[in-house]
C-alpha cells in the first residue's frame, strides 16, 4: 500500500510523505566557513591538523580518509576558521558547487568548503545523501561574476525535508547497503580501465621505440628515457621534422566565424570546437591548421595526455588557448608523431622538464623543439600508425564501454538516492548501520 504524500511546496523537491516537514538548513545545522592560512608562513603548515579542500573529494566516496595538506594549530588560529567534529557534512561551495563528503575525524577546510554541524536531533548521514543529489538546486543559489559561490546565507536558507529520526536512520542505512554494492561494480570497471590504459601505453611505447619486428637488431639510442631502438632507425630533434607553433597566413575579416578550441575542449585524443568571430581570437590566441597536432603544455593536462589532431575546422583554420602547443608534421608521419606523444616515457620526461610554481607548471617550446624522436622510414612510420590505430582503437572501445556502464550506474545510484531521501520510495526497516 502506497503511503499518503503531499506537495512539499518546493519545485525541485516535489512530493514528500504526509508526516514529513520542511525546515531551513540553518535551524538544523550550524554553517561553518573554511579559510586558508597565509601560504608564505612556514609556522602555519606541515602540522597535524587535517585541512581539506574540494580537491580532496572523491566521487562516490562517503567519508574523507586522507586530506592532502595539514596545518598547525597556529595556522588554524590565524585564518578565521575552526575545527569541525567527526560526522560533520562538508560541501564544496565554490564552482563546482555541490561535491559532498563526511568527516570521519576532526578537521578544518579551506574557503572553498562549508561544513554543517548538527544543532538538532538529526541523523547527518541522511542529509549527506540528501545533499549529494541536490547539486543542481545548490548551484542555482550560487552568486558571483568571477566564479559562482554559495554563500552562508543562501546555504542556511536552503530547505531540507525532515523525516522522523528513525526514518532518517533507516533511509541512510538502506542507502549505505545499496550504494556499497553499486560502488563495488563501479570500482571494478574503473580498475579495468586503468589496466587497459596501462596496456595501451605499453603497446605504444614498444611500437614507437622498438618497432614491430620482433627480431630486429637494436642499438643504444644514447638517450636514457628512449633506450634501445632498431639499428636502422635514425634519431633527430623534433624541430628538424616538424614546425613548432608555426606562423599562420590568415586572410579573414573580423566578422568571419572561425573554429575555437579553448583548453577545456582539448581532451585525450579528440577536441571539440565552437564558432566565434575572428575579431575575438585574432590576438592572444594560438592559430593552427587542419592536420596540426594540438598538445596541452600545462599541468595536469599534459600528464593526462590531452592532445588531438586538429580536424573539421571552419575554412581549415582554428585558434586555441596559449596553453596549447601546435606541432605541424613535415618530414614525419603525423599519426606516428601523435602516438609518440602518448609514449609514457615522453610524458614522464616532459613532466620532469616543466617549470613554474605548483599547479601552474608548463613546458617551454624548447622542450618540444629539442626533444629527440626515433625516426623509422616514412613507410614504417605509417605501418606503425596503422597498427596502433587498430590496437588502440580496440582498447579504446573497451574503455568507452566501461565508461558507459559507469555513467549508467552513477545515474541509477543517484536515482535511488533521490527516491529514498525524498520519501517517494519506502525503504526496508532496520537495514543495519555503520
| CATH hierarchy code of domain 5-163 | 3.90.220.20
- 276-291 tens-digit pLDDT: 999 999 888 999 999 9
Cross-strand partners of 319: 260, 287
Residue 157's alpha-carbon distances to 24, 26, 116, 153, 309, in angstroms, are: 5, 6, 13, 6, 49
Q: With 0-12 CB in 10 A as exposed, 13-18 as middle and 19+ as buried, what is 428?
A: exposed
Domain ranges of the chain: 5-163, 165-215+378-434, 234-375
CATH fold, domain 234-375, is Adenine-n6-DNA-methyltransferase TaqI; Chain A, domain 2 (3.90.220)
The neighbour count for residue 322, using CB atoms within 10 Å, is 13
Strands 100-103 and 63-64: parallel
**What per-residue confidence (pLDDT) applies to 59?**
58
Q: For residues 316 and 291, what is the distance between their CA atoms, to the nearest angstrom?
A: 9
Q: Where does the pLDDT of residue 401 fall: very low under 50, low under 70, confident under 90, or very high at 90 and above?
A: very high
- 323-346 tens-digit pLDDT: 999 999 999 999 999 999 999 999
**What per-residue confidence (pLDDT) applies to 371?**
94
Residue that wins the pLDDT comparison between 373 and 428: 373
% pLDDT > 70, the chain: 97
Residues 108 and 80: beta-carbon distance below 8 Å: no
**What per-residue confidence (pLDDT) applies to 96?**
77
| CATH hierarchy code of domain 165-215+378-434 | 1.10.287.1120
Instruction: Locate 151 and state its grid cell.
Output: 554563500
> Which of 116-125, 351-360, 370-379 shows the lowest per-residue confidence on average (mean pLDDT)?
351-360
pLDDT (mean) for 263-284: 91
Q: For residues 385 and 378, what is the distance between their CA atoms, to the nearest angstrom?
A: 10
Q: For residues 237 and 368, what is the distance between their CA atoms, to the nearest angstrom?
A: 9
The answer to whether residue 433 scores a pLDDT higher than 60 is no
- 38-88 tens-digit pLDDT: 877 788 988 999 999 888 876 557 887 777 889 999 999 998 899 999 999
Q: Where does the pLDDT of residue 431 fall: very low under 50, low under 70, confident under 90, or very high at 90 and above?
A: low
**What per-residue confidence (pLDDT) applies to 144?**
83
The answer to whether residue 304 scores a pLDDT higher than 60 is yes
Residue 89's alpha-carbon distances to 100, 109, 272, in angstroms, are: 7, 11, 37
- 142-180 tens-digit pLDDT: 988 777 899 999 999 999 999 999 999 999 999 999 999
Mean pLDDT across the chain = 91
Q: For residues 50 and 69, what is the distance between their CA atoms, to the nearest angstrom?
A: 7
pLDDT (mean) for 296-315: 92
Largest distance between two CA atoms of the chain: 80
- pTM for the structure as a whole: 0.81
Q: Where does the pLDDT of residue 428 fall: very low under 50, low under 70, confident under 90, or very high at 90 and above?
A: confident
- 90-116 tens-digit pLDDT: 999 987 788 899 999 999 999 999 999
Q: With 0-12 CB in 10 A as exposed, 13-18 as middle and 19+ as buried, what is 360?
A: exposed
Are 5-163 and 165-215+378-434 in the same CATH fold?
A: no
Amino acid at each position: 500500500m502506497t503511503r499518503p504524500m503531499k506537495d512539499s511546496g518546493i519545485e525541485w523537491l516535489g512530493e514528500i510523505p504526509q508526516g514529513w516537514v520542511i525546515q531551513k538548513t540553518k535551524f538544523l545545522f550550524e554553517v561553518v566557513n573554511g579559510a586558508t592560512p597565509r601560504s608564505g608562513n612556514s609556522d602555519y603548515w606541515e602540522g597535524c591538523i587535517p585541512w581539506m579542500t574540494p580537491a580532496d573529494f572523491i566521487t562516490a566516496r562517503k567519508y574523507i580518509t586522507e586530506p592532502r595538506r595539514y596545518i598547525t594549530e597556529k595556522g588554524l588560529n590565524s585564518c578565521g576558521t575552526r575545527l569541525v567534529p567527526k560526522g560533520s557534512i562538508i560541501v564544496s561551495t565554490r564552482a563546482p558547487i555541490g561535491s559532498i563528503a563526511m568527516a570521519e575525524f576532526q578537521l578544518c577546510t579551506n574557503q572553498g568548503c562549508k561544513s554543517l554541524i548538527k544543532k538538532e536531533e538529526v541523523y547527518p548521514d541522511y542529509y549527506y545523501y540528501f545533499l549529494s543529489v541536490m547539486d543542481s538546486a545548490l548551484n542555482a543559489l550560487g552568486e558571483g561574476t568571477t566564479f559562482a559561490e554559495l554563500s552562508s546565507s543562501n546555504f542556511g536558507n536552503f530547505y531540507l525535508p525532515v523525516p522522523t529520526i528513525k526514518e532518517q536512520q533507516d533511509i541512510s542505512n538502506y542507502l549505505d547497503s545499496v550504494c556499497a554494492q553499486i560502488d563495488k561494480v563501479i570500482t571494478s570497471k574503473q580498475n579495468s580501465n586503468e589496466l587497459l590504459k596501462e596496456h595501451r601505453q605499453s603497446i605504444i611505447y614498444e611500437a614507437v621505440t622498438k618497432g614491430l619486428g620482433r627480431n630486429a637488431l637494436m642499438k643504444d639510442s644514447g638517450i636514457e628515457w628512449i633506450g634501445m631502438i632498431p639499428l636502422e632507425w635514425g634519431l633527430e630533434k623534433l624541430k628538424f621534422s616538424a614546425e613548432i607553433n608555426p606562423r599562420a597566413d590568415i586572410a579573414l575579416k573580423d566578422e568571419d566565424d572561425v573554429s575555437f578550441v579553448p583548453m577545456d575542449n582539448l581532451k585525450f585524443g579528440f577536441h571539440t570546437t565552437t564558432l566565434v568571430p575572428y575579431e575575438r581570437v585574432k590576438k592572444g590566441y594560438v592559430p593552427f591548421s587542419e592536420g596540426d597536432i594540438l598538445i596541452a603544455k600545462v599541468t595536469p593536462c599534459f600528464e593526462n595526455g590531452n592532445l588531438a589532431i586538429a580536424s573539421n575546422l571552419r575554412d581549415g583554420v582554428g585558434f586555441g588557448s596559449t596553453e596549447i602547443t601546435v606541432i605541424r608534421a613535415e618530414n614525419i608521419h603525423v599519426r606516428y608523431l601523435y602516438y609518440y606523444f602518448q609514449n609514457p616515457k615522453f610524458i614522464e620526461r616532459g613532466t620532469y622538464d616543466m617549470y613554474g610554481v605548483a599547479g601552474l607548471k608548463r613546458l617551454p617550446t624548447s622542450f618540444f623543439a629539442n626533444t629527440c624522436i626515433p625516426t623509422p622510414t616514412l613507410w614504417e612510420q605509417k605501418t606503425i600508425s596503422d597498427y596502433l590505430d587498430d590496437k588502440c582503437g580496440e582498447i579504446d572501445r573497451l574503455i568507452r564501454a566501461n565508461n558507459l556502464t559507469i555513467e549508467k550506474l552513477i545515474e541509477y545510484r543517484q536515482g535511488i538516492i533521490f527516491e529514498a531521501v525524498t520519501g517517494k520510495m519506502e525503504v526496508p526497516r532496520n537495514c543495519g548501520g555503520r
